[in-house]
Structure 1
């Protein structure tokens, strides 16, 4: 939802195109990024507590919003070493979501569907090493990103265990131009099975996780196909009345190589950990908040993320 970037277009188009071509060569060598333009295809750091719990069936469904802020000043190479290229990036995203769970049953689960639309505001800079020397580049775009559609959600629940599975399709609805160094849209489709689970003990201790695997199609504008991506998000903490407090994080791994012009490799990975909180009381908006620090990154940026989610059912 919020992990894409794009550069400024303008009078320096020819110079920027030269820099983009040269920087692509750097990326192809695997010194700074993996996946096309170094951006994970779908957002992560989304779920923490309650990852396995879907909203109840209601006449009008559930509306949710998520604000996330990501900042990084370090790029890591294939060995996990910092890349000296004067890198800096901030990404603010606001996502709007709608989920409708129903009383229809399939395999004993409630059936539902949903959609998510992200809006992105980015500000970043780096220095590209080109055959013509060092070239500083910057970007500050604001635009819509790729929309996610979940045509099928299945949710099971018991006293202590909650499980859901979903099939997600990310459509190339975001703004994209092949001449841009970074884009809010990916210009390709992504298909993702998702599994969420939450277990809450009788004493109120919760363990939650969400697992997603992204399978990407080819970007026809660049003939580039990003590798298969795996992400697992998690949280563990104690319920105290309507509040839950503990720790959360995520693990991101690229499972297969990128493929494109002069590219066959570039796998990326990163981990994140930090405090997580949630609030849930029937009849009131549910709220989630976490702050994560990334570590042990390879072939991608390493930074910090703060995310705030809220949802209410009607």
Structure 2
């Protein structure tokens, strides 16, 4: 088993983001539940890419395996003006995902061609007091089950001395557990199609700037006749390479670009930002590791909480 580091000293592989890792094939974690987008839950996972977001694993005989453990917790719901909603809301989501990515020596447009897939498992526990014309109704749910799987049938990766870029097309399939009457669901019960672009630039002195931009286009959930709006996210990290470590800050910016549509719904756009410390480790022949802790702020039409995620990857 070998994990090779692409040309610059501390570069991390990407599976789950970086060096021997899994690049764009991101999965895991739903993140939350509140309002915009159906049930307020982002369609695809947050906080997957930080250091090495533009770097894919090198071509190897058997590909790269990665895993990610994440925990998201929120006790605040925000309305469309960013004000707290007094409804005794709480949500905890623990997730574990298994990812596989395979980069090849086949070239297309000067890039290495690859593919990947991610399968997440989620434990969700939350409650909410819903205001109705007949009074307040307490609602809760604690499902534990498989989430929606992500497939990346095409990944293209370019690399140079200091700059690494990849693009991918991702399909999220409705494989997750879903019940229309349940408050929180591991699955979304609809398809999502996402172009993803990742880039990493590392200076000669070892300072890294990484970003991953994703656009999610959702289809209709036919169980509820609800279609979530188009979603945009930019996940990023800035840090310094110090030996096998990279340390700095990371986060994400999330915006819903178009309205939700459903029974008596035309609107409900959500947004949120997150920022916090991030660190990663890469050394040839050893598993690559990433750890971050993000605090959300500026939420509208959704929950606001924090996320902790640990990822590991190795190429074979």
Q: Quick check: TM above 0.5? A: yes
Aligned length: 289
The answer (yes or no) to whether the contact 1:52–1:198 under 8 Å persists in 2 is yes
Q: d(CA) in 2 for partners of 1:185 and 1:66? A: 18
Partner of 1:108: 110
Deviation at 1:250, TM superposition (A): 0.2
Deviation at 1:179, TM superposition (A): 2.1
Partner of 2:175: 173
**Paired residue secondary structure (1:249):** strand
The answer (yes or no) to whether the contact 1:4–1:186 under 8 Å persists in 2 is no
Whether 2:109 is the aligned partner of 1:82: answer no
Where do residues 16-35 of structure 1 align in structure 2 (5 Å cutoff)?
A: 33-35=35-37
Partner of 1:91: 93
Deviation at 1:168, TM superposition (A): 0.1
Partner of 1:51: 53
Runs of 4+ in 1 over 4 A off after TM superposition: none
Partner of 1:226: 228
**Paired residue secondary structure (1:64):** strand
Partner of 1:240: 242
Deviation at 1:106, TM superposition (A): 0.2
Partner of 2:309: 307
Structure number with the higher helix fraction is 1
Where do residues 264-279 of structure 1 align in structure 2 (5 Å cutoff)?
A: 264-279=266-281
Deviation at 1:5, TM superposition (A): 7.3
Q: d(CA) in 1 for partners of 2:84 and 2:63? A: 46
Deviation at 1:181, TM superposition (A): 2.4
Partner of 1:64: 66
**Paired residue secondary structure (1:223):** coil
Aligned counterpart for 2:260 among listed residues 258, 261, 273: 258
Q: d(CA) in 2 for partners of 1:264 and 1:160? A: 45
The two structures have a TM-score, normalised by structure 2, of 0.90
Q: d(CA) in 2 for partners of 1:182 and 1:245? A: 35
Deviation at 1:177, TM superposition (A): 1.7
**Paired residue secondary structure (2:39):** helix
Single out whichever of 135-144 and 112-121 deviates more from structure 2.
Answer: 135-144
Partner of 1:40: 42
**Deviation string, structure 1 residues 149-201 (Cα, Å, up to 9, x no partner):** 00000000011000000000000000112222221111100000000000000
| Structure 1 unmatched ranges of 5 or more | 7-31
Single out whichever of 33-42 and 178-187 deviates more from structure 2.
Answer: 178-187
Q: d(CA) in 1 for partners of 2:141 and 2:304? A: 18
Whether 2:276 is the aligned partner of 1:249: answer no
Q: d(CA) in 1 for partners of 2:84 and 2:223? A: 30
1:311–1:222 distance in 2 versus 1, CA, 3 Å: same
Partner of 2:30: 3
Computed over aligned residues only, the root mean square deviation of the Cα atoms, in angstroms, reads 1.1
Q: d(CA) in 2 for partners of 1:261 and 1:43? A: 26
The answer (yes or no) to whether the contact 2:32–2:303 under 8 Å persists in 1 is no
The answer (yes or no) to whether the contact 1:49–1:208 under 8 Å persists in 2 is yes
